[in-house]
Amino acid sequence: MLRLEGLGLEARFPRTAGLHVTLKFLGETAPDQVEEIRSALAAVAARRSAFEIMVEGMGTFPERGRPRVVWAGVRDGSALYELQEDVEASLARLGFPRESRPFEPHLTLARLKSARATDELRRFLEREGATCKWGTFPVDEFQLIESRLHPEGAVYRKVAGFPLEGSA
C-alpha cells in the first residue's frame, strides 16, 4: 500500500489488521438475531475445510468512470466461492436477502475520497496492477464482524470466530 500512498491520492487506507474479504454484508442487524446468525455460521464452518487463497493483481471499483475503491484480487480455485455460497444460503434461510451481484473476492486497499491523482493511479495500475503478487495466505477461520462507521474510517469488532474443519 505504500506505493499507492505515494501517488498523491486523497484516500483512506485501511490498517493492515482491517484487511478482510467480505463473504456477506448483513447491514443493520437486530441484537436478538445475533445468536441465530452465530448458530447458522457455526454449522457452515463445521461443513468446510481450511484452504489457502492467493492475493494478486490490483484494480478499481468501478472499473470505468471515477474510481472509488482500489482493490487487490483474491484467487483460490473454488473453496472460497463454496464457503461464500454456503454462508449466503444459510443466512438467506434466516431472512437475509441474497446478494444480487456476483461474488468478487477482494481486499480493499484504499477508499478514494476524490478524483485527485486518479490519472496517476490509472498509469500505476496499467504498469503494475496485473503483475502485483502479494502471496498465499491460509484461511482457517471466518468471522462475524460488527463495523461502526466513524469519520476516520470503519472500526471493526469481532463478534464471533468460526474455525474451519481441519484448522489447528
Does 3.10.110.10 match the CATH number of domain 2-163?
no
Cis geometry, peptide bond prior to residue 62 (ω within 30 degrees of 0): yes
According to the model, what pLDDT value does residue 52 have? Answer: 95
Residue whose C-alpha cell is 468512470: 65
Which of these is catalytic: 96, 106, 162, 164?
106
Instruction: Supply the pTM of this predicted model.
Output: 0.89
Catalytic site includes residue 150: no
| Confidence class for position 136, pLDDT limits 50, 70, 90 | very high
Q: What confidence tens digit (pLDDT) does each residue in 29-62 have?
A: 999 999 999 999 999 999 999 999 999 999 999 9
Residue 25's alpha-carbon distances to 2, 11, 68, 79, 96, in angstroms, are 28, 23, 18, 19, 9
According to the model, what pLDDT value does residue 22 have? Answer: 96
Which of these is catalytic: 20, 38, 68, 111?
20
Q: Would you list the domain boundaries of the chain?
A: 2-163
